[in-house]
Amino acid sequence: MRIAFLICAILALGSVWSAPALGGDGPQAPAAAAPGCPETDDEEGADEAAYVRKSGDTGSEDEDAPPKFSNSFYRRWFTMDASTDGFEAPELPVSIETVCDLPKRFAKEGDQLSGADGVAIVSSRTRIFKDGKQLSGSTGTAEVEGADTVSLKVRLFRPNRWREDEDGAKIPTFRARRLDITD
């Protein structure tokens, strides 16, 4: 009896929720989001300082120390905007500008990646897009080689799989699921 009442209540709320507003054309579908992170103001100034303080950066940490991440962070897919520096398949060297699509509990870990260098592994399973169209084969590879900025859907590899930079230091390495060329 209680289950039947609960089902009826849910259906009633669903019909009320989806009913068009008075004088309107009904519910509007949200606009498709552009790939990448939300646009930000180029003049960050005090806002950036407040954000850094909020994210837990006290300034006393060693900036040369490798970043540390939780086990659950390594299992998380997220979006990052980055500048590229050439492409030698399968490695795409990137300079990470912003990290997005992370819940608040991962904000501090994501902040460690912003401003850092890294490597995105672009495999044959990575979907490559430019101007909303999916590219494949040599066309996709050629476009990635010429790209200056990209938005990537990635997952961070564990440190034992990180690549080395030209100085021999381990740098964050990512598996790329989707690559949107933004320049």
Q: How far is CA 39 from CA 14, 97, 131, in A?
A: 34, 12, 17
Structural domains of the chain, count? 1
Residue type, 85: D
Looking at residue 28, what is its pLDDT? 41
**pLDDT tens-digit map of 103-140:** 999 999 999 999 999 999 999 999 999 999 999 889 99
| Residue of 101, 107, 139, 123 lying closest to 173 (CA atoms) | 123
Let me know if residue 27 belongs to a domain: no
Residue 71: phi, psi to the nearest 5?
A: -60, -40
- pLDDT more than 90, % of the chain: 59
Any alpha helices (H) in 75-115, and if so which ranges?
107-113
Q: Are strands 117-121 and 173-181 parallel, antiparallel or unpaired?
A: parallel
pLDDT at 76: 96
The set of residues, in sequence order, having a beta carbon less than 8 Å from that of 72 and lying 6+ positions away, is 106
CA 78 – CA 93 distance, rounded (Å) = 18
Range 60-76 average pLDDT: 81
Q: Say what the pLDDT of residue 45 is.
A: 44
pLDDT-above-70 percentage for the chain: 64
Residues in contact with 50: Cβ distance below 8 Å, sequence separation at least 6, in sequence order: none
CATH number of the domain enclosing 153: 2.40.50.320
Q: Is residue 66 part of a domain?
A: no
pLDDT-based confidence at residue 66 (cuts at 50, 70, 90) = confident
103 domain residue, yes or no: yes
Is 113 buried (19+), middle (13-18) or exposed (0-12) by CB count in 10 A?
buried
Rounded alpha-carbon distances, angstroms, from residue 52 to 37, 42, 48, 83: 18, 16, 6, 22
pLDDT for 62 equals 58
C-alpha–C-alpha distance, residues 95 and 111, integer Å: 14
**Does the reported pTM lie above 0.75?**
no
Q: Determine the pLDDT at residue 21.
A: 44
Asked if residue 30 belongs to a domain, the reply is no
- As a residue count, the chain comes to 183
Residues 35-51 have pLDDT tens digits of 556 665 444 444 444 44
Looking at the predicted structure, is the pLDDT value of residue 96 above 60? Answer: yes
How does the average pLDDT of the chain come out, rounded?
A: 79
Domain assignment present for residue 42? The answer is no
Mean pLDDT of all residues in 148-154? 97
What's the confidence (pLDDT) of residue 26?
Answer: 40
Expressed as residue numbers, the domain containing 129 is 78-183
